Amino acid sequence: MNLQGLDPHLLHAWLTARSLARGLPMPVPEHGGFRVDTGSDTETVRWVFPHLCDGLKDLARAIHQPRQFIKVCATTEALRAALPPHWTVHPASHVMRAHGAMPRRTLAHGYSVTTEQSGPVVAARILGETGELAASGYGAETDHVFVYDRIVTEPAHRRKGLGHVLMQTLHAARRNADSRELLVATDDGRALYETLGWCVVAAYASGSIVEG
């Protein structure tokens, strides 16, 4: 894992693919990082930095409203030290990339998988026997980067390898076999993806001002 952060060009490619997957505005260079106007009920805007820098610290001092997030390819401890005291640092995540061939797994009996391609974005869905949504996820490809996004298995369908099949389905949908495959994982997700041959390339920390 690189404790010095992530290459800015790789971070920009990843954020661009993520914005495509979610229908968000493209990332804009700002303060030494990139701003993405997310515009959701829980987050209006996020700034993502490839590493800690003075621009991040200056930005944090200028923000006084909730729902504005600062994210950086650094540890939670390093981000905590860089933020003003009234900021909250959220649980750690990890930037991961595919490393080697993904082991194959057969779809469990009674399930079916479908994909839908829209330009650089592919959506995959796994349905149960009665047609209920069991798992879903998205992939987006740009600048030789393929990003996996919102990989979710519904609680009633977990521990059946559906997430594994979902990942291999998205993997097969890549247009460029040489694209670097990236995702952001929680601690629990990291453990799963490591069994699929993924490795951590950078820590990923997040902070915001919590309402109330």
Q: What is the pLDDT of residues 92-137, one digit of tens each?
A: 999 999 988 888 999 999 999 999 999 999 999 999 999 999 999 9
Calculate mean pLDDT across residues 36-52.
97
pLDDT in tens, 133-183: 999 999 999 989 999 999 999 999 999 999 999 999 999 999 998 999 999
Strands 45-49 and 68-72: parallel
Start-end of H helices in the chain:
8-22, 54-62, 76-82, 162-172, 187-195
3-state helix, strand and coil shares in percent for the chain, rounded to the nearest 5? 25, 35, 40
| Degrees, nearest 5: CA angle 63-67-72 | 70
3-state SS class at 78:
helix
The tokens of 212 are what? Answer: 């109330």
Q: CA nearest 66: which of 87, 81, 35?
A: 87
Residue 151 CB neighbour total at 10 angstroms = 20
Inter-residue contact 146 to 183 (CB < 8 Å): no
pTM of the full structure: 0.92
**Beta-bridge partners for 94:** 185, 203
